[in-house]
Structure formats: structure tokens, C-alpha cells
């Protein structure tokens, strides 16, 4: 457990969008997918996922439909809307820029300044 990183505020939405961008998923599936694509390095409480999901639906970035899961159970599937896809692109770009900037700042050696 200890090697799992806490999420930075605001990054959960980005992760959800990213997870769903690979295909429609239900809530539990999104959780698994995030674990999978992050190499199980990120800790997300199971209950904490849903407020984010509902918010994204409300913002029109995701749409939700009831369907049947691979386990043959009723589940609500989320997929990206066009706006969601656009938002994911923007957020990914700005995250990359931020991450690069921070990484660069942290890797500077004293004599280079």
C-alpha cells in the first residue's frame, strides 16, 4: 500500500477521462483500468470515484447508459462525448507541460542555474 501515491487534487477527473477514452466502462471497470494503466501506482478510494463520475456527466464530458457487464450483471457504462474527448486532449497537453516544467525544475543542478 505504501508505494501507492496520493492523487493530486483535480487529477482524478483526468484519469477517469483517460480510462474511459479507451472504450466504454462501468464504474468498477474504470477503477480497474486506472490501476492497470498506472501500474497500480495510484490509490483511489472506491467510493470517491462516483462524485467525479456524476460531475463529469453533468458537465457533458461523459455520457452514461445502463447495460450488461462481462459478469452478466446490470451496470452503468460511461463513455466519452465529443466534448469529453476534446477536454481530455487539452488537459493531457497542459498536464504534460506542467509535468515537464516541474521535472525540469527539479532536475536542475546548482551550477546550471
Partner 1 sequence: MKLLDSLRFRLATLFQRSQMHTEMEEEIRSHIEHRADDLVRSGLNRAEAERRAHIEFGGREKCKEEIHEALGGNFVGGLLQDVRLAVRVLRKSPGFTIAALLTLALAIGANAVVFGIFNGMILRPLDVPQAESLYGTEYGNNPGWQSYPNYLDLRDRNRSFDGLAAFSFVFPGFDTGKDPSGSSGYTTSGNYFDVLRIQPYLGRFYHAADEHGPNSAPYVVLTYAFWHSRFQDDRGVVGRTIFLNKHPFTILGVAPPGFHGTVSFAFIDFFMPMVNEGQLYGGSELDKRGSNTVVFEIFGHLKPGVTLTQATADVNAVGAYLEKTYPQDFSHKSTPLSRQGLTAFGGAVTAFVAGLMLLAGLILLAACANLGSLFAARASDRSREVALRLALGSSRKRILRGLLTEALLISLAGGAVGLLGSVALLRRLSTWQPIAAAPARLPVAPDAKIYLVALLLAVVSGLLFGIVPVRQVLRANPYEIVKAGSSARGGRRITVRDVLLVVQIAICAVLVTSSLVAVRGLARSLRGNFGFEPRNAMLLNADLAQAGYGGDQTSAMKRRIFDAMGTIPGVEHVGWVNDYPPLAYGSNFRSNVYKDETTDLRQTNSAATPFRYNISPGYFEAAGTSLLTGRSFSWDDGKDAPPVAVVNREFAVKIFGSVPQAMGRDFKLQDGTRVEVVGVVEEGKYLSLNEDPQPAIFLPALQSPSNAFYLAVRSQRDPEQLAAAMRSKMRELDEGLPVTISTWKTVLSLVLFPSQMATVSLGVLGMMGAMLSITGIFGMAAYSVSRRLRELGIRIALGAKRKEVLQAALGRPLKLLAIGSAAGLLLGILAGKVLAYIVYQANPRDPLVLAGVVLAMLLLGLVATWIPAQRALSVDPLILLREE
Interface residues with partner 1 (CB under 8 A) are 26-29, 45-48, 50-52, 54-55, 58, 69, 71, 73-76
Q: Give dist(CA 92, CA 15) in Å, integer.
A: 10
For partner 1, the closer CB: 55 or 85: 55
For partner 1, the closer CB: 71 or 107: 71
Least distance to partner 1, CB of residue 80, Å:
19
Least distance to partner 1, CB of residue 55, Å:
5
Name every residue whose Cβ is closer than 8 Å to that of residue 76 and which is 6 or more positions away in sequence.
Answer: 26, 27, 64, 65, 66, 67
Kindly report the length of the chain.
113
Query: Looking at the DSSP assignment, which residues form a beta bridge with residue 80?
Result: 62
For partner 1, the closer CB: 11 or 96: 11
Least distance to partner 1, CB of residue 34, Å:
14
CA atoms within 13 A on the CB side of 85: 8
For partner 1, the closer CB: 31 or 80: 31
**Sequence-ordered strand ranges (E) for 28-99:** 62-68, 74-80
Amino acid at each position: 500500500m505504501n508505494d501507492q501515491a496520493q492523487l493530486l487534487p483535480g487529477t482524478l477527473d483526468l484519469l477517469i477521462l483517460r480510462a474511459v477514452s479507451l472504450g466504454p466502462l462501468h464504474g468498477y471497470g474504470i477503477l480497474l483500468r486506472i490501476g492497470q494503466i498506472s501500474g497500480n501506482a495510484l490509490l483511489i478510494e472506491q467510493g470517491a470515484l462516483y462524485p467525479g463520475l456524476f460531475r463529469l456527466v453533468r458537465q457533458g464530458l461523459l455520457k452514461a447508459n445502463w447495460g450488461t457487464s462481462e459478469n452478466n450483471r446490470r451496470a452503468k457504462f460511461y463513455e466519452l462525448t465529443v466534448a469529453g474527448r476534446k477536454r481530455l486532449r487539452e488537459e493531457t497537453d497542459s498536464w504534460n507541460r506542467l509535468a515537464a516544467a516541474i521535472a525540469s525544475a527539479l532536475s536542475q543542478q546548482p551550477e546550471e542555474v
